[in-house]
Amino acid sequence: MKKIALIAFLLTICVAAGRAQESRQDVSLSGTGLIEPFIASSTTVQVHSNTAYGLLVSYRFMLTPSSALEANYGITYQNKIKFYANPNTYVVLTRTQEASAAYVRSFTFKKFNPFLEAGPAALIFLPIRNSGTTNLDVKQQTAIGAVYGGGIAYELSPSFDIRAEFRGLITKVPTFSDTQFTTNKWYNIYNPTLGVAYHF
């Protein structure tokens, strides 16, 4: 009887220790590129922009070993959005912020962990008022949309992995509250990321 009790006690300790070592959360820091496509609209407005670079911070909570919920915050340094509203051209220097949440489905192949994700997103377009912005009437704009993507994580150790992902952000093309910039079009913004995640 004492042996059975001792074995049961040791099994309980081992299970508890195993659960304590199981990583159910992670945080990651990634460098990002924000690539906004060319837009030509039915309102004769055309929108061009260059690539913006920034950072993305993500937090994941594992619901099961293969599914998780993720929260993201991203910000870019600066990019230039050009509006061609015939016959004039306007430039708006912009800093873009992202707040999003997603459901993540992952797969495991030894040290490689591919994953897919999708969820709602909000993008905040912040005009930078300096000599690079040619229309000073522009205003901050928040746009609601969605995030989707897929990527792969490579496990460096039980605590760290390298994570590369191609993300997409879908939202209305910003007008910065200026009606002459209206396109009535949607952006599908390309957002590649590369970073490091820490599991705890």
pLDDT bucket at 80, cuts 50 / 70 / 90: very high
Tokens 């300790």, located at residue: 13
Q: Is the dihedral of CA 128, 132, 137, 142 positive or negative?
A: negative
Do you know the residue count of the chain? 200
pLDDT bucket at 41, cuts 50 / 70 / 90: confident
Residues 3-17 pLDDT 10s: 554 444 444 444 444
Residues 115-169 pLDDT 10s: 999 999 999 999 998 888 988 789 999 999 999 999 999 999 999 999 999 999 9
For the chain, what is the mean pLDDT? Answer: 89
pLDDT of residue 182: 92
Does residue 106 carry a pLDDT above 50?
yes
d(CA 35, CA 15): 47
- Eight-class DSSP state of 35: B
Class of domain 23-199: mainly beta
pLDDT of residue 22: 63
Q: Is 18:178 a contact under the CB 8 Å cutoff? A: no
d(CA 135, CA 88): 11
Instruction: Tell me the one-letter amino acid at 133.
Output: T
The residue ranking higher by pLDDT, 21 or 93, is 93
> How many CB atoms neighbour CB 97 within 10 A?
16
d(CA 171, CA 189): 8
Please state the domain extents for the chain. 23-199
